[in-house]
A and B are shown apart, each in its own frame.
Chain A
Amino acid sequence: MSTKTADAQVAIANPALTATKVNPGASLPIGKVLKPLGAFFRGFAIIFIIIGLWEAFPRFGWIDPFLLPRFSDVVTGFFTLLKTGEFFKHFNVSIARISSGFFGGLCLAIPIGIFMGWFKTFEEYVNPLVEACRNSSVLTLYPIFILLFGIGEQAKIAIIMWGTTWVVLLNTIAGVKNVDSVLIKSARSMGVGDLTLLWKVILPAATPSIITGIRLGAANSILILIAAEMIGSNSGLGFMIFYFEARYAIPEMYAGVIFLALMGVTVHEILCRVESYLTSWHEKSIYFGT
């Protein structure tokens, strides 16, 4: 957007440029209309083709319809689940788990991360530990969590928290630690104290990094939620998918899988919007096209 305005300004400032830029024929307006539409189609064309193939393969008997039911049956199955309310039962349970685990993780990770980023020596002591925790596969720890918390809600919430915490923590530390020292010097020269510096300079400067951590943490927490529900549970979306598979309710199983994919995309999309809203001041590279 801004680059376009800049182009326009250049064009106004330099009439010679406009003259050479004039295109014979009306191809330009059409191109302008098609360009954004084109991007839209490029993204969805593949998905539509896959849906078409999905519908065609079982319909024409190219694949066993029991293993891969027709896409239309999957959609019907999903609406049946909505109608009977079975879907919402599991959905609500999953949302409750993920929100307590995810937000619990944030409440833990962000303050501790700010503290660790601020006190660099402390960070040096604990950094290897944090790295080890982040890089250990979360699900291998699940047996320990079950051992400690039982197979109830606590273990699931705790493991989601675990999966959220480390990536948010590391990004928060990095954000706080990498604040441009010139900005700190500038604020200090105005006699700013520690708390004001934290609130007015360090936190805003670290926001992009923290938000990136939150986005990664959210993706993690969905993955862990489903896995945890598949391992030891009798409710939730992860359980629901396994349950339908065990009962040979294959269209419903696929409906659950697709719903989770859509949920993941939606959460990612929302967080990207939040990120770009909160960091609109960030210098955007003009060297990559939109």
Chain B
Amino acid sequence: MDSLIAPPATPEGAVTKIEFRNIQKVYRVKKENGGGYDDFVVLKDFNLDVYAGEFLTLVGPSGCGKSTLLDLLAGLIPLSGGEIRIDGRIIDGPAMDRGFVMQAYALFPWLNVQANVEFGLTIKKVPKKERRAISGHFLELVGLTAFANRYPHELSGGMKQRVAIARALAFDPEVLLMDEPFAALDAQTRETLQDELLDLWEKTGKTVVFVTHSIDEAVYLADRIAVLASNPGRLIELVNIKLSRPRQGSRGSAEFGWIRHKIWRYLQNDEGGQEPIPELGVPNVAEVIDSRAAL
């Protein structure tokens, strides 16, 4: 088992990039029957370290606070308790050391593709010539050079998300935050974009924090998966994914299926939390290793 997934152990030489310390997030909601407020706990005692350059996915059911966690990390909403640090500095608001990619693309419809990619650079007051060079580079990376002068409404969903990724990378953030970026895409486009994203990640060396509700997507992309449970949102399991990269074609493999099932079991078991996961008659550790050897 340890050959494929392992409990969280600090890998050798890993440098901590992001620290979540005792994160609390509470929303005040109006009581249903008349006056007063109830506290709705979205996140409780959440602790996590994200290593520099790693691809971390947050997976969990809706309402587990995974998107809230990303908004907190982006500095878009205030914490109710605890602190988040990047390179040891406490986060107190949004800044360009983090790039955010959303499910809804959020491209500016009045700007063409190139101007969208350059948006953050304009905010940074990068001179025009330099801006052109940078946007050209990233449009080439996402394969949209020919579409530089098109407007968002002329693009397909997959192309829009490529532009959004290029826009987030263009101002050179250290961390890329992705909130279910591929959830609105069709299955084929999603898989293509997953591969493109891994490619970009390897080329740029960014730290990626990726939220998804798809176990399959989480396993395919991640170095590590943080499994969250809801009510209140909390971390129940941290899983190292030791599938070798590149992972094209690995989805059908026994190892992949086994890890996916394991994560699924964690999510099923979130009530008890500590209960051991039964071995279910699916390939056990030895078998998995055997089948790998056979390949």
Contact = CB atoms under 8 A, between A and B. Distances in A.
B210 to A, nearest CB: 15
A284 B95 CA distance: 35
B94 A189 contact: yes
Contact of B153 (A187, A196, A281): A281
A182 B109 contact: no
Given A191-B93, A191-B96, A283 B106 contact: no
Contacts of B95: 191
Contacts of A187: 119
Contact of B76 (A180, A185, A196): A185
Interface string B64-94: 0000000000111000000000000000011
A281 B110 contact: yes
B108 A189 contact: no
Contact of A189 (B100, B110, B122, B153): B100
B94 A190 contact: yes
A277 B154 CA distance: 17
A282 interface: yes
A283 B123 contact: no
B48 interface: no
B224 interface: no
B151 interface: yes
Nearest to B171: A190
B200 interface: no
Interface string A196-222: 100011001101000000000000000
Contact of B108 (A183, A185, A188, A191): A183
Contact of B94 (A2, A188, A207): A188
A14 B102 CA distance: 35
How many residues of A sit at the interface, in one of the four size bands?
20 to 34
A186 interface: yes
Contacts of A189: 74-76, 94, 98-100, 177
Given A182-B102, A182-B104, A185-B76, A190 B120 contact: yes
B85 to A, nearest CB: 17
Contacts of A205: 108-110
Nearest to B177: A189
A185 B119 contact: no
A182 B152 CA distance: 15
Contacts of B76: 185, 188-189
A186 B106 contact: yes
Contacts of B98: 189
B100 A186 contact: yes
A5 B74 CA distance: 41
B232 to A, nearest CB: 24
A133 interface: no
Contacts of A281: 109-111, 151-153
A182 B171 CA distance: 19
A192 interface: yes
Interface string A107-139: 000000000000000000000000000000000
Nearest to A189: B100
Contact of A192 (B111, B123, B154): B123
Contact of A190 (B104, B110, B119): B119
A2 B76 CA distance: 39
A175 to B, nearest CB: 13
A190 B109 contact: no
Given A205-B110, A207-B110, A282-B109, A190 B153 contact: no
A247 to B, nearest CB: 53
A283 B120 CA distance: 24
B108 A283 contact: no
Contact of A185 (B106, B109, B111): B106
Contacts of B153: 281-284
Given A185-B76, A283-B153, A190 B108 contact: no
Interface in A249-290: 279-284
A196 B102 CA distance: 21
Given A182-B104, A185-B76, 15 more contacts: A183-B108, A185-B100, A188-B76, A189-B75, A189-B94, A189-B177, A190-B119, A191-B95, A191-B123, A200-B123, A201-B108, A204-B110, A205-B109, A281-B109, A281-B110
Interface of A: 2, 180, 182-183, 185-192, 196, 200-201, 204-205, 207, 279-284
20 contacts: A183-B108, A185-B76, A185-B102, A185-B106, A186-B102, A187-B119, A189-B94, A189-B99, A189-B177, A190-B96, A191-B94, A191-B95, A191-B96, A192-B123, A201-B108, A204-B108, A205-B110, A282-B109, A283-B109, A283-B153
A-B pairs, 3 with minimum CB distance: A186-B106, A189-B100, A283-B153
